[in-house]
Amino acid sequence: MPDYIQLLESKLSPNEKQALNAMTDVARARKITVFLTGGAVRDIVSGASVRDLDITVQGNPLKFRKDLERAGFSITGEQEPSQTLYLRFGKQARMEISAARTETFPKPAHPEYAPAGILDDLRRRDFTANAMALSLNEGSWGLLLDPLNGSADISSRHLRLVSNYGFLEDPIRLVRAVRLMSRTGWDMEERTKARYDNAKAEGVIGAITAVQRGYELEEIGYEEEPVQVLKALESEGWMEHLSPAWNSRSADVQGLERLHERFVQLLMAGLHPDPSAAQFRLLTAKLSPAQFASLKKMFVRSDLIAEVNALDADAKHVLQKMTAKDAAKPSQLWKLLHSMKPEAVLWLFFTNKTAAVQNKFENFFTKWPEARQKIPNAILQDMRIVPEVEGYEELLDKLTFAFMDGELPTEETIRKFAEPYSPPAPPPLVIVRRSRTVKRVTEPKGSKTKARKAAKNALAEQGADLSLAASGDVTASAPEIAEETTIAPKPVAGKSSAGKAAAAKPAAKTAAPPAKAVAESAPVKKAEKPAKISRHGKAPAAQPVKGKAEKAKSGAAGKVSHPSGGKATAKPSGKGGSKPAPKLKGKAQKAAIVAKAHGKASAGTAHRPIAKASLKPKAAVKPTVKKAGASAMKKSAESVSRPTKPSKPAVKSKPKKKSGK
């Protein structure tokens, strides 16, 4: 629905839009329904230009003619029997308002009227293309009423009668059909053409009234191609019944062509004149004054005749203004022509042959419009003058007029002229300089504390082990020694055989020191599960410790695995104690101290068994345990004389506490 309203607004001139709005305001104030009907709706649907506005109301418009005059309408004619008013709004908007009605024909061309609704009014019309309405009421704004499917006939470009007896009831429809076909290029629908031929043969055209003649003659003057319409009516013989003196031979055809060229030039310059009055003067150029006067008396509406009579006087007034001192500059003349009546400017441009006047018109059409192209957009942008600035359009007009008059020859004058429209410059940007901060790598919460504690504990254990090694009271469990001697240092050539023998000699079987003494001297660690020994006394190869260190079971036997695969069984004393470990002397003692300091087990201390209840075993670090064999023992003995470079102490994990049995 809104699409038709949008099409209507796109085709109407500003003056016609104002007229339509004023009409709807009056109808709503009177609380009557109002519709746009007739040729305007046909032109909207077909895509043609709207020539005039036909309004139908469900009421008598003769009763509120004063309201229409107060709204700005001027009444140019009326028909009381059909309750029709002919209006003019502003300079160009032509409008016809009538009451919704039905028509009956007791005899041809003499209808009788009765009030009716809008649908009945559409069904009494001439052709289906004219039997459509567009609602202008609140709640149904833009609703298209098409009870007879006129839009389909428009699509097929056909004229189809609403009533089978349309030509016989109202013979003026014969003239109207020819005029519409000449304008639009349509043809008659087959049955409509047959009825047209029958009515023409019967000669019903003689029944038309004087009002109908005058209305159709005036409509010829409003046609865009009036000569073509005149010739079409002549060929059908209808001009003999309308006006025998007026035909295509009475027209100034060359003048009409030249007038059309002038009309197009004014349109391109921004002026929109109505050429109907000038056309009528040229269409009747070869009529005698008496014939012309007789023709004008036949017109139903007075506005066209009034405009025809005022053409010469209005053109003379424009000429006086153009030659005055206040129109000496091009910009002044440009403003003058745009402020004068466009129909008078068209007639002056067409009739005046003076070189000075024609030169001004030539500049008006060709030279002065170029001033708009000289506007320096780059300079305006440099001065921060953009379309969003207030008064931008006003500045463009002033610049155009200044370039017309040649008042801005240099860039300096342009900047000075546009300076009042230049907005103030924005404040400079404040740059806050901040000192560079060194990015530090953040570690997970608590990671530093854990690392520091682990390092501290490792150093404490290392110091305790050194003190024990120095005093000769060093004991270790078999699983712990197996883990600490994972990587054997390479043998160094040139070492004494005594050192090798001392390193390769296994530790003597001694009883473990008392549990109390060992517990006080060694750091407390969680016990590890000792290696199991088979029934035949052989221990399997040491396996890498997985996960947290396994806790030793309480009361288990003190059996340990020997690196070389032999048996290493601790012999407890009769009273539950163990014999004190023999002290190492010489190079063996020194090698044991150094190896213990680097977290490695020496050959002299690596295999000392301890009692099963003499010491709480330490927590183990995950080492890679190699199988202990003869070659490993040999390499371990050879490395006693040349210890390796101390390595960082391994961080020992804190396994879960588990009490023994």
Which CATH number do you get for residue 16? 3.30.460.10
The answer on 498 and 391 residing in a single domain is no
Are 84 and 66 spatial neighbours (Cβ–Cβ below 8 Å)? no
- Looking at the structure, do residues 577 and 487 belong to the same domain, yes or no? yes
Residues 21 and 60 in one domain: yes
Say which residue the tokens 């020191």 belong to: 513
pLDDT at residue 436 in the model:
66
Dihedral over alpha carbons 75, 78, 83, 89 (to 10 degrees) = -30
pLDDT at 594 (0 to 100): 58
Residues 599, 494 share a domain: yes
Token pair 């949008």 in the structure block, residue = 6
Q: Does residue 562 share a domain with residue 416?
A: no
Does residue 136 fall inside a structural domain? yes
Q: Specify whether 458 is located in the same domain as 565.
A: yes
Q: What is the pLDDT of residue 443?
A: 55
Question: Is the residue at 520 inside a domain?
Answer: yes
* Its pTM surpasses 0.75: no
pLDDT of residue 9: 80
380/501 same-domain check:
no
Of 547, 510, 545, 515, nearest to 530 by C-alpha is 545
Is 176 among the domain residues? no
Q: Is 568 exposed, middle or buried (0-12, 13-18, 19+ CB in 10 A)?
A: buried
C-alpha to C-alpha distance for 315 and 178, rounded to whole angstroms: 35
* pLDDT at residue number 445: 56
**Closest listed residue to residue 99, CA positions, set 121, 74, 78:** 121
| Among 107, 136, 155, residue at a domain's last position | 155
Q: Does a structural domain hold residue 219?
A: no
Residues 413 and 482 in one domain: no
Is the domain of 610 the same as that of 478?
A: yes
Q: What's residue 587's pLDDT?
A: 63
Domain-embedded: residue 591: yes
Is 216 a member of any domain? no
Q: How far is CA 639 from CA 345, 474, 488, 635, in A?
A: 123, 20, 8, 6
Does 480 lie in the same domain as 414? no
Q: Are residues 597 and 456 in the same domain?
A: yes
Residue ending a domain, among 155, 170, 197, is: 155
Shared domain check, 4 and 144: yes
User: How many domains does the chain contain in total?
Assistant: 3
Can you spell out the DSSP letters for 228-264? Answer: HHHHHHHHHT-HHHH-TT-SGGGS-HHHHHHHHHHHH
**Residues written for the chain:** 661
Cα–Cα distance for residue pair 251/347, rounded to 1 Å: 17
What separation in angstroms does the CA of 280 have from each of 227, 254, 270, 304?
10, 14, 23, 9
The C-alpha atoms of residue 562 and residue 607 are separated, in whole angstroms, by 7
Tokens of 217: 């003659």
Type of residue found at 357: V
Question: What would the two tokens of residue 94 be?
Answer: 């032509």
- Divide the 661 residues of the chain into consecutive groups of 10 and give the mean pLDDT of each group: 72 88 92 93 89 91 92 92 92 90 93 94 95 91 92 94 95 96 94 96 93 93 93 94 92 94 92 92 93 91 90 94 90 92 94 92 90 90 90 91 92 92 84 67 59 73 58 44 42 41 40 42 44 45 45 41 42 44 58 58 43 43 44 47 48 47 37
pLDDT at 182: 94
**Position 68 in a domain:** yes
Q: Which of 155, 186, 221 is the last residue of a domain?
A: 155
Q: What's residue 571's pLDDT?
A: 42
What integer pLDDT is reported at residue 466 of this predicted model?
54
Question: Domain residues for 412?
Answer: 375-421
The neighbouring-strand residues paired with 86 are: 77, 96
Question: Does the residue 257 lie in any domain?
Answer: no
Q: What's 88-149 look like in SS3?
A: EECCCEEEEEEECEEEEEEECCEEEEEECCHHHHHHCCCEHHHCCEEECCCCCCCCEECCCC
